[in-house]
């Protein structure tokens, strides 16, 4: 029987969930995997959290040295979040030969090279399944189940907060502010929701997933990012008329060796597998050259779903005599290796004065920039202002072309407002 000591750095939501799973699944893990996992130390300053979980205060402290000097501790699970002190503590643990398990997507995204270098030097393991999509085993799928494939595309709902907000808007007709307030009341969104609603959280995850999928470092700086705060109830209603649902997606593609990576709202057809993913659930759709399409679905956050991924990594790490090394960050790409002028279909909503010639002028500018229109929908006026909403959906076109066309259209006499532009994915 192999005895493996574990240290927990923090007893927040996920840290507490992980402790509960380690205790609750202890006997099963010992029986099936022949590993006796014991919590040897906890780093936590809040005594109430320690007592609430029934942890002996003698194994709790606020000093990382108590973890480093304890030879019984083989694996350290981190729950602090953010960059510091998490990075400094984990580098020390890795150099000391203690494997690290973390759900800290920002840290892994921004400082993977430093963490992996410390892990290699200390002959320790770096495990981060829980950093992306909570309890859904996407990291293990990419690294241990897709060896027979070149992964060509990733499309993912990888942020539960934004998916919850957009679901409430679609299903109940709430506007953005109302849906956000509901998410905050339920604890799905923070008081400052910027990391989620502006796409930062999803971009961290897409950087990690893309780097693993293509074995090339896809840094945060090369990911196009746009949030959901401009999505209006009108857009969702018009999308329904076209049989489409709006989602915040992380999208990356490997196109002839060049990487395209972006996070932004997207209209997808209602029959697309991702369209039915509602609430705070997450899903990732992969395409491999041999396996074809695969989709993984489940809860992307929460104490027990994320704790489940943490414990999976702990058991996985405990069973390894030699740990996997990652070299994707050594395959450094230049800006030329990333697709900036990506292609998409586009939904464009604008408000115009309802008079003869306006639509013709708009169509002329689209044609000037090579933008072909598949659908035009003009809504009747809702008051006596003479202003109407027009919705265009384009054929596949380039980002630069649509940007130039919209800029020119916005300056036309009779065009009161370019209300929104949302990309459409097949």
The yes-or-no answer on residue 121 being catalytic is: no
Closest alpha carbon to 296 in 315, 274, 272, 268: 274
Query: Long-range CB contacts (< 8 A, 24+ apart) of 320-328?
Result: 320/125, 323/99, 323/119, 323/123, 323/124, 323/125, 323/126, 324/125, 324/143, 325/116, 325/119, 325/120, 326/112, 326/116, 326/126, 326/212, 327/215, 328/211, 328/212, 328/214, 328/215, 328/216, 328/217
Provide the 3-class DSSP secondary structure of residue 7: strand
Report the distance separating Cα 425 and Cα 108, nearest Å: 29
Report the distance separating Cα 283 and Cα 363, nearest Å: 38
Within 13 Å of residue 295, how many CA atoms lie on the same side as its CB?
Answer: 14
74, 87, 105, 205: which one is catalytic?
Answer: 205
Report the distance separating Cα 303 and Cα 297, nearest Å: 17
Residues annotated as catalytic are 205
């Amino acid at each position: 029987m192999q005895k493996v000591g574990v240290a927990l750095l923090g007893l927040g939501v996920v840290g507490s969930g992980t402790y509960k799973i380690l205790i609750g699944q202890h006997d099963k893990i010992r029986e099936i995997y022949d590993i006796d996992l014991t919590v040897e130390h906890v780093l936590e300053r809040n005594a109430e959290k320690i007592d609430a979980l029934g942890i002996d205060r003698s194994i709790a402290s606020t000093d990382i040295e108590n973890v480093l000097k304890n030879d019984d501790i083989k694996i350290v699970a981190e729950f602090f979040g953010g960059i510091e002190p998490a990075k400094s503590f984990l580098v020390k643990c890795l150099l000391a030969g203690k494997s690290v398990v973390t759900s800290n997507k920002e840290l892994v995204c921004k400082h993977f090279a430093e963490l992996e270098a410390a892990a290699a030097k200390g002959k320790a393991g770096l495990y981060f399944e829980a950093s992306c999509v909570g309890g859904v085993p996407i990291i293990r799928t990419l690294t241990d189940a897709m060896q027979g494939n070149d992964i060509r595309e990733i499309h993912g709902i990888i942020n539960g907060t934004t998916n919850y907000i957009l679901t409430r808007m679609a299903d109940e007709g709430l506007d953005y502010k109302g849906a956000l307030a509901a998410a905050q009341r339920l604890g799905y969104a923070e008081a400052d929701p910027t990391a989620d609603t502006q796409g930062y959280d999803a971009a961290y995850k897409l950087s990690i997933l893309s780097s693993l999928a293509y074995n090339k470092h896809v840094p945060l700086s090369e990911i196009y990012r746009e949030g959901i705060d401009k999505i209006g109830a009108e857009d969702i209603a018009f999308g329904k008329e076209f049989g489409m649902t709006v989602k915040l997606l992380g999208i990356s593609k490997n196109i002839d060796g060049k990487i395209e990576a972006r996070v932004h709202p997207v209209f997808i057809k209602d029959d697309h597998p991702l369209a039915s993913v509602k609430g705070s659930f997450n899903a990732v759709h992969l395409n491999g050259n041999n396996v074809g399409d695969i989709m993984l679905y489940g809860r992307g956050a929460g104490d027990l779903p994320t704790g489940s991924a943490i414990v999976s990594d702990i058991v996985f790490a405990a069973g390894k005599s030699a740990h996997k090394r990652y070299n994707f960050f050594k395959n450094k790409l230049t800006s030329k290796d990333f697709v900036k002028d990506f292609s998409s279909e586009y939904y464009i909503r604008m408000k115009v004065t309802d008079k003869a010639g306006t639509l013709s002028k708009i169509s002329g500018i689209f044609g000037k920039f090579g933008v072909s229109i598949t659908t035009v929908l003009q809504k009747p006026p809702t008051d006596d202002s003479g202003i109407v909403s027009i919705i265009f959906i384009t054929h596949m076109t380039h980002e630069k072309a649509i940007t130039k066309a919209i800029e020119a259209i916005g300056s036309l006499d009779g065009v009161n407002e370019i209300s929104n532009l949302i990309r459409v994915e097949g």
